[in-house]
Homo-oligomer: A and B are copies of this chain.
Amino acid sequence: MNAVGVIVEYNPFHNGHAYHVKKTREETGADIVIAVMSGNFLQRGEPALLSKWDRAEMALKGGADIVFELPYQFAVQKAETFAKGAVEILYKAGCNSICFGSESGSIADFQATLRYMKKHNHLFQQQIKHHIEKGVSYPKAMSLAFQDLPADEEIVDLSKPNNILGFQYLKAIDNQGFNMQAYTIKRKNADYHDEHFSSQTIASATSIRKALFSEKNKMAQIKQYVPEHTFHLLNQYIKKFGKLHSWENYWPYLRYKLLQTNQEELKAVYEVEEGLENRLISFALHADSFKDFMEKIKTKRYTWTRLQRTCVHILTNAKKYEMNQSKVSYLRLLGMTEKGRDYLNKFKHQSDIPIVSKLSSFYNNQIELDIRSSRVYALGAGLKFQTKLLQAEFNHPPIYLSQNK
């Protein structure tokens, strides 16, 4: 069986995602769609609206056959590391292709970009260094350095964040020498980061989240942009666990963590460096909310996203030595359809790393971070639902969807 991989966060799953999965199957002709999905904390340094189990269910109901968790060690990371881990998971899961969404919709453009960037790598690195020395953030320096390179009409514009991930996927395949073909599907409407609704059926996850945390008619506002099963699962989740998760739910814990620690302890946390520890501790005394805190600690040197990721690492106590990027060492199965199960039954004999269906069967330092982050994540539920969500995280078998889904 032919398997294609998609790299997702589904926060939450919406009509644009459904379209992407459908087109992925059509364009690649694959029998099986395998999604690798961030766990409870996401690439941009945020808690997911609802737990990985519910998002895995959305993924299966939305057309994926198998969902694996992208380990925390790769998920809560800059684009390059995120892409590296995700592509490796898909390769280890037997995918011979991946398919991602993009504005351009032309894989040839991305391939040309990869060749172009390899050719100009030396100049590119030089220019990044040059811009960083002027005090801008790393992503900003990359964007400026890219603009400094000689013009080329065939390549995609890497000064736009939307194109970065696709490029990093191709680079990860190339760097690791994986025999995988890449496809891209042109996105329908909705800019990735768009905060407002601008179409009848397609909206960005950002705008959907914004509506979900708005003052009123939350659910009514998003109804037309998500499949019925997403709508149902969101409603169910609020009933089961009291609320959806946002950074504000974790602010008391982050603040507590910062107020009971000291500089030395804090410096052991991943990405806390260059005196950031003092800044974080001292502003924790004065900020009334996570938003307020972020606005206070923000500087030109770090992007909002980078700081949010750092805050996630502090919250989950992810140490520098724990986040040393290693190889992917397991495939944590979050869910499968009947067809997905058939695939796994055959594939599991040829997999060179364990497929983990229950936590009691596997343990190492990489999965320890997934476990710990899920424990912390559960404390973002309503106070009286925390124990229930903690238990759900640990006793949960993979979601299974039989044929008549």
- Judging by beta carbons under 8 Å apart, are B387 and A259 in contact? no
- The smallest C-beta distance from A374 to any residue of chain B, in angstroms, reads 10
For residue A285, CB closer than 8 A to chain B, the reply is yes
Q: Which residue of B lies closest to A315 (CB)?
A: B260
Question: How many residues of A are counted as interface, with CB atoms below 8 angstroms from the partner's CB atoms?
Answer: 26
- The smallest C-beta distance from A315 to any residue of chain B, in angstroms, reads 7
For residue A286, CB closer than 8 A to chain B, the reply is yes
- Judging by beta carbons under 8 Å apart, are A256 and B253 in contact? yes
- The smallest C-beta distance from A41 to any residue of chain B, in angstroms, reads 13
A256's contact among B259, B261, B379, B384, by CB below 8 Å, is which? B379
- The smallest C-beta distance from A169 to any residue of chain B, in angstroms, reads 32
For residue A273, CB closer than 8 A to chain B, the reply is no
- Judging by beta carbons under 8 Å apart, are B252 and A383 in contact? yes
CB 8 Å contact bits of A85-114 with B (1 = contact, 0 = none)? 000000000000000000000000000000
For residue A316, CB closer than 8 A to chain B, the reply is yes
- Judging by beta carbons under 8 Å apart, are B384 and A259 in contact? no
- Taking chain A's interface residues, is the majority helix, strand, or loop, or is none over half, making it mixed? helix
| Contacting residues, chain B, for A316 (C-beta < 8 A) | 260
- Judging by beta carbons under 8 Å apart, are B287 and A376 in contact? no
Q: Which residue of B lies closest to A372 (CB)?
A: B260
| Contacting residues, chain B, for A260 (C-beta < 8 A) | 257, 315-317, 372, 375-376
Assembly stoichiometry (copies)? 2
For residue A255, CB closer than 8 A to chain B, the reply is yes
- Interface of chain A residues 268 through 309 with chain B (CB within 8 A): 285-288
| Contacting residues, chain B, for A261 (C-beta < 8 A) | 317
Complex CA gap A379/B288 in Å reads 11
Complex CA gap A316/B286 in Å reads 19
| Contacting residues, chain B, for A285 (C-beta < 8 A) | 375, 387, 390-391, 394
Complex CA gap A387/B284 in Å reads 9
- Judging by beta carbons under 8 Å apart, are B376 and A256 in contact? yes
- The smallest C-beta distance from A367 to any residue of chain B, in angstroms, reads 14
CB 8 Å contact bits of A230-253 with B (1 = contact, 0 = none)? 000000000000000000000011
Q: Which residue of B lies closest to A376 (CB)?
A: B260
- Interface of chain A residues 362 through 391 with chain B (CB within 8 A): 372, 375-376, 379, 383-384, 386-387, 390-391
- The smallest C-beta distance from A39 to any residue of chain B, in angstroms, reads 15
| Contacting residues, chain B, for A372 (C-beta < 8 A) | 259-260
Q: Which residue of B lies closest to A393 (CB)?
A: B285
- Judging by beta carbons under 8 Å apart, are A387 and B286 in contact? yes
- The smallest C-beta distance from A257 to any residue of chain B, in angstroms, reads 8
Q: Which of A260, A384, A387 has the most CB of B within 10 A?
A: A260
| Contacting residues, chain B, for A257 (C-beta < 8 A) | 256, 260
Q: Which residue of B lies closest to A390 (CB)?
A: B285
Complex CA gap A386/B286 in Å reads 9
Q: Which residue of B lies closest to A384 (CB)?
A: B288
Complex CA gap A169/B376 in Å reads 44
Complex CA gap A288/B379 in Å reads 11
Complex CA gap A305/B287 in Å reads 34
- Interface of chain A residues 64 through 104 with chain B (CB within 8 A): none
| Contacting residues, chain B, for A386 (C-beta < 8 A) | 252, 255, 288
**Which 3 pairs show the lowest CB-CB distances between chains A and B?**
A259-B375, A260-B317, A253-B256
Q: Can you add 13 more A-B contacts, CB < 8 Å, to A259-B379, A285-B387?
A: A252-B379, A252-B383, A256-B257, A256-B376, A257-B260, A259-B372, A259-B375, A260-B316, A260-B376, A285-B375, A285-B391, A286-B387, A287-B387
**Would you list 9 pairs from A and B whose C-beta atoms are within 8 A, ordered by A residue?**
A256-B256, A256-B376, A257-B260, A259-B372, A260-B316, A260-B372, A285-B391, A285-B394, A288-B386
